[in-house]
Chains A and B, each alone.
Chain A
Amino acid sequence: MTDARTLIRENLDYPALLDDIADHDDLIMAGVNSGEMVRIALACEQHLDREITDEELTQLKSVRAVAELLGQSGGT
């Protein structure tokens, strides 16, 4: 199972930023920019091999949310 943190880390311009972000933290408020969020969403689609819905996209705000979308129980 692809780890949500690995997926997010691979799509950050500065991957170490993720080290200080807890699973439930709001990614934008923690410093992830909108461009990186777009890349994370695209990577989720690639992993799921389907388009993600607007509702799923709206919920995609934290490591935990990414993990849940990918079908994982937790972010770490």
Chain B
Amino acid sequence: MWLSQILEVNRVRYPTAVALRDIRRDVSWTRFHDDVSALAQVIANRVEYGDRVVVLSGNRVEYVETYFACAAVGATVVPINPALTAPEVAHIISSVEPKLAVADAAGAGRLAEHYPDLPVLSLEGLARLVPSARMPTNRVNDLTAPFAILYTSATTGRPKGVLVDQRSVQTNALSWLADIRPEPGTMFLTASPLFHGSIVAALHYLAAGGTVCVLDSFTPNSCLAALAGWRVEHVFLVPSMVRLLLQTRGIDSANLGALRLILHAAAPMPADLAEEATRVLGVPLRTIYGVTEAGGVVLSLRPDDQPGPPPLPGATCLGAPMLGAPVQLVRPDGTRADDHEVAEIHVAGDSIMRGYWKNPEATADAVRDGWLNTRDMATVDNHGYYWLVDRRDDLIVRGGQNVYPAEVEHVLRMSPQVADVAVVAAPSTVWGQLPVAFVQPVGPDLDEAALVNLCVRQLAGYKRPSRFVRLDHIPRNPTGKILRPALRRLAEQDGS
């Protein structure tokens, strides 16, 4: 309902303005509407309301159109990261039992090899569908219809699907429009992959009547060329992208005169990097803190906010809550924390997920009485600004991509040579953090190459440990919990 409204309203208001852009084509609002109508008819002929449609593809404008077409007919989109290995994809496919796939040539090849009975629509072919001004009869008449299942890395060994509805997207969009305030025609570049939860930012710019520019894949040069050539005004980047962009040849001579705002999220931005980015690019930075399970952005630090020094060493300011996303800090016993106390960030509101797909236990653990526990640790200062102190569940953020130790440990434990294992974050200048595996071997020898091969077969590349460190015993407390802080210190010393 929400996404279809975006199409209908903006087709009337800005019929010839560009809604979507990639290196292959510009799509006007009229064409966007008609492309989606044509695709929605194709999908409606193949799936029933509530059926899942997986998307396995690199970035292109047709990917965005697929989100809208599925939403129009009540199909649930399940975007899949093309970097996932065959076992990781199999886990998702077996869980969501899709009736249809939409894929680029590479994705279609992979699906045909492993799932020959799954019908696949060619994403490249969508541009050749005959546009239709008539949307199929809308089978979605309420905002709580499932919209997408976004798979996150896992806290418990296997990835979990975050089920969100259109109400979540709408609530977060209205919050974004009130706070970030993009205008009709604002040129927004999404440099992130479209399977990522940050897709909601692109949907918000479309809600504003803006233009969403889609980068096929991030490289510093392609991003710089897009920023300059497409006269991008707002861009969403993760800190690693900002650092690589600043190292790009031609950054000093690039015409970035249209650029007005850099939104950054996913990992704390080091202060020196923020200063350099502001100086070299000449535009303000805005910190946003989002959680997939919360439906998008929860906290935001505006460029003109002046939070002062960190209340605790190493804390990162996340700003104040977005409208529509009530936030509170909660102690482990469930009581509300006092100001200046470090506690877990809880979020409420209509944008939080409907739950984890087919996982009521995990849902009940994460959401209680309407409050989502992000498990990130924070404190509040005298001005009401939230400061991130530690990440949830020992989360490792590698270049903006989440890696949960449990998932990597689960794979390494499959090896007959591993008696025990713990994966922790080590600092990295470029990527922010890198996963390091501490391994307690069964025998006297440790075949690292075999462990790497195991990871290559089972895990997407960004989850693979950058180092393997042999230990006689993985340190644990009396209750058996791994002493990760000690291992993090060891990883930092060992890598320096």
Q: Which of A14, A33, A36 interacts with B452 by CB under 8 Å?
A: A14
Query: A22: CB under 8 A from chain B?
Result: no
Q: Is the CB of A20 within 8 A of B449?
A: yes
Q: Which residues of A contact B218 (CB under 8 A)?
A: 34, 38
For window 16-32 of chain A, which residues contact chain B by CB distance below 8 Å?
16-17, 19-20, 28, 30-32
Contact A31 B464 (CB under 8 A): yes
Known: A28-B83, A34-B83, A38-B219. 15 other contacts (CB 8 A): A13-B431, A13-B434, A13-B467, A17-B464, A30-B456, A33-B460, A33-B464, A34-B218, A34-B461, A34-B462, A35-B462, A39-B430, A45-B249, A50-B249, A51-B221
- Which parts of B428-456 form the interface with A (CB within 8 Å)? 430-431, 434, 448-449, 452-453, 455-456
Given contacts A20-B449, A35-B399, contact A41 B219 (CB under 8 A): yes
Partner of A28 from B399, B461, B467 at Cβ < 8 Å? B461
Q: B249 and A16: CB pair below 8 A?
A: no
Main DSSP-derived SS at the A contact region:
helix
- Chain B nearest CB: distance from A11 CB in Å? 10
Question: B249: shortest Cβ distance to chain A, in Å?
Answer: 6
Size class of the contact patch on chain B: 20 to 34
Q: Which residues on the B side are within 8 Å of A16 (C-beta)? A: 448-449, 452
Structural contact, B460 and A42, CB atoms closer than 8 A: no
Give chain A residues whose Cβ lies under 8 Å from the Cβ of B456: 17, 30-31
Proximity string of chain B (363-401) to chain A, C-beta cutoff 8 Å, 1 when within and 0 when not: 000000000000000000000000000000000001100
- Report if B466 contacts A (CB, 8 A): yes
Q: How far is the CA of A56 from the CA of B248 in the complex (A)?
A: 17
Assess whether A13 is in contact with B466, with CB atoms less than 8 Å apart. Answer: yes
A35 touches B240 (CB 8 A): yes
Cβ B452 vs Cβ A42 within 8 A: no
- A-B pairs with beta carbons under 8 Å apart, 27 shown: A13-B431, A14-B464, A14-B466, A16-B448, A17-B456, A20-B449, A30-B456, A31-B455, A31-B464, A33-B83, A33-B462, A33-B464, A34-B83, A34-B217, A34-B218, A35-B399, A35-B430, A38-B220, A39-B430, A41-B219, A42-B244, A42-B247, A51-B250, A52-B221, A54-B222, A57-B219, A57-B222
- Collect the chain B residues with CB atoms within 8 Å of residue A19's CB: 449
Q: How far is the CB of A31 from chain B (nearest CB, A)?
A: 3
Cβ distance B463 to chain A, nearest Cβ, rounded Å: 8
Residues of the B chain whose Cβ atoms lie less than 8 Å from the Cβ of A35? 240, 398-399, 430-431, 462
1/0 per position for B209-242, CB-CB distance to A under 8 A?
0000000011111100000000000000000100
User: Which of B220, B247, B467 has most chain A Cβ within 10 Å?
Assistant: B220
Interface residue? B107 (CB, 8 A): no
A17 to B465 Cα, complex, angstroms: 11
Q: How far apart sit A22 and B446, CA to CA, in the bound complex (Å)?
A: 24
Docked Cα-Cα span, A43 to B386, in Å, equals 39
Q: Are B453 and A20 in contact (CB under 8 A)?
A: yes
Convert A30-72 into 0s and 1s, putting 1 for each residue whose CB lies closer than 8 angstroms to a CB of B. 1111111011011001000011101001000000000000000
- The chain A residues found within 8 Å of chain B, CB to CB, are 13-14, 16-17, 19-20, 28, 30-36, 38-39, 41-42, 45, 50-52, 54, 57
A5 vs B252: C-alpha distance in the bound complex, in angstroms? 31
**CB-contacts of B177-231 with A (<8 A):** 217-222
Check if A33 sits within 8 Å of B461, measured CB to CB: yes
- Would A38 and B455 count as touching, CB distance under 8 A? no
The residues of B that contact A52 with a CB separation of less than 8 Å are 221
Q: Are B249 and A36 in contact (CB under 8 A)?
A: no
Please name all residues of chain B whose beta carbon is closer than 8 Å to the beta carbon of A28 when the two chains form the complex. Answer: 83, 461
Q: Residues of B contacting A17 with CB < 8 Å?
A: 452, 456, 464
A57: which B residues are within 8 A, CB to CB?
Answer: 219, 221-222
A34–B195 Cα distance when bound, in Å, is: 15
User: Are B461 and A31 neighbours in the complex by a CB distance under 8 Å?
Assistant: yes
Chain A min CB distance to B485 (Å): 22
Q: How far is the CA of A13 from the CA of B249 in the complex (A)?
A: 23
With A31-B456, A35-B398, A39-B430 as contacts: A51 and B448 at CB distance below 8 Å: no
Q: Inside 8 A of B247's CB, which chain A residues have their CB?
A: 42
- Complex alpha-carbon distance, A19 and B247, angstroms: 29
Give the CA-CA distance A35 to B218 in the complex, in Å. Answer: 9
Look across to chain A and name the residue whose beta carbon is closest to the beta carbon of B244.
A38
Taken residue by residue from 456 to 488, chain B's Cβ proximity to chain A (1 for < 8 Å, 0 otherwise) reads as 100011101111000000000000000000000
Could you tell me if B249 and A51 are in contact, using CB atoms closer than 8 angstroms? yes
- The CA of A30 and the CA of B337, in the complex, are separated in Å by 47
Cβ-closest 8 pairs across A and B: A33-B461, A13-B466, A31-B456, A33-B462, A35-B399, A31-B461, A14-B466, A38-B219
B460: chain A residues at CB < 8 Å are 33
Contact of A36 among B217, B248, B461 (CB under 8 A): B461
Q: Which residues of B contact A38 (CB under 8 A)?
A: 218-220, 244
User: How far, in angstroms, from A13 to B495 measured CA to CA in the complex?
Assistant: 12
